[in-house]
Amino acid sequence: MTDAFDAAAAARALLQVWGGGPRPAGLPVSPPDTAAAYAVQRAVIRDLGGGAWKMALLAGQDRHAAALPGRLVAASGSTLAALPQDACIEVETALILGADLHPGAGPAGAMAAIGEVRLCFEIVASRFADRRAVHPLEAMADAFSSGGIVLGDALDNWRDALAGLLGIRLWLDDQPVQAPETLQSLDDALSFLSWLAGHAAGQDMPLRKGDVIITGARIGPLPLNNAGSARASAGGAGVAVNLVPSVPG
C-alpha cells in the first residue's frame, strides 16, 4: 500500500528548505496530478506571501504557472543570499501589472493591464537536492524550481521591443557569455496573461496591481558556476546582480 499524498505535508517539506533546512531528494509523496501540485503551491504561498508568477512548461510540453513568493523579487544591483551549487540563471522580461487583472480579460484587457515591462534575471534554484531527478509534478509543486527574480530597467516602447529579439548581451563576472536568444512573443505573453487571470483567481490569488509575471527564458538557463556577479543589457535597459559563494548540497 502506498502512502497517500498530502499537500500540507508536501508544503511543509518545501517550507523547511525555505527556512534554511537541507534540500531533500524529493517530496514525501509525489503529487498525483497538476491539481495536487497547485495545492502545494497554494499552501507555500499562504505561508510566504505571493506577488509574482511565472509561466512554465510541465515536462517541457504543457503550459502551466507557478505562484512565487514576493520575497523572491529583488531590485537590480542586489546581493542575493548564497545559492546552491547547481543554481542557474536566465535572462527574461517581466511584466509588471499597472492595474488589477480579472478573470475573463482577453488579450486586449491583458495588454491594458500591463504597466511596464522590465529586463530581468530569473535564478533557477530548486528546493530539491537535484531538480533533474524529481518527478515533473514535484518540480511544479516547487514553483518550477524558481529561486528568484531580479528586476532591471524598464524597456522603452516595450510593445515594439517585444515584437522581435531584444539583442540581449550577458556577462558573468564581467566576462561576456555567448548564448542564443529565444524569441518570446508578445502575443504568447498576452495569451498566458489572459489565462493566468482566471487561474490565479481560481487559486484564491487574483492578479493585482504591482504583481510581477515572467513568461519564459530569452537566454538560458545557464550554470552560474560560482560566479560572483551577472549583468545583462538590451535596448538601453540593464539588470545586474551580485552573488555570494554557493553553498554545498
List average pLDDT for each run of 10 residues in the chain, which is 249 residues long: 85 97 96 98 97 92 95 96 94 98 95 98 97 96 97 96 95 97 94 97 97 97 95 97 77
**Domain span at 95:** 51-243
Is position 191 within any domain? yes
Is position 30 within any domain? no
| 3-state percent breakdown (helix, strand, coil) of the chain, nearest 5 | 25, 35, 40
Residue 210's CATH number: 3.90.850.10
Count how many domains the chain has.
Answer: 1
pLDDT at 1: 36
Is position 45 within any domain? no
pLDDT at 2: 56
List, in order, residues 6 or more apart from 152 with CB less than 8 Å away. Answer: 76, 118, 119, 120, 121, 232, 237, 238, 239, 240
Whether the CB-CB separation of 56 and 64 falls below 8 Å is answered with yes
Is position 173 within any domain? yes
Is position 119 within any domain? yes
Is position 44 within any domain? no
Is position 182 within any domain? yes
**How many helices (H) does the chain have, and how many strands (E)?**
6, 13
pLDDT at 59: 79
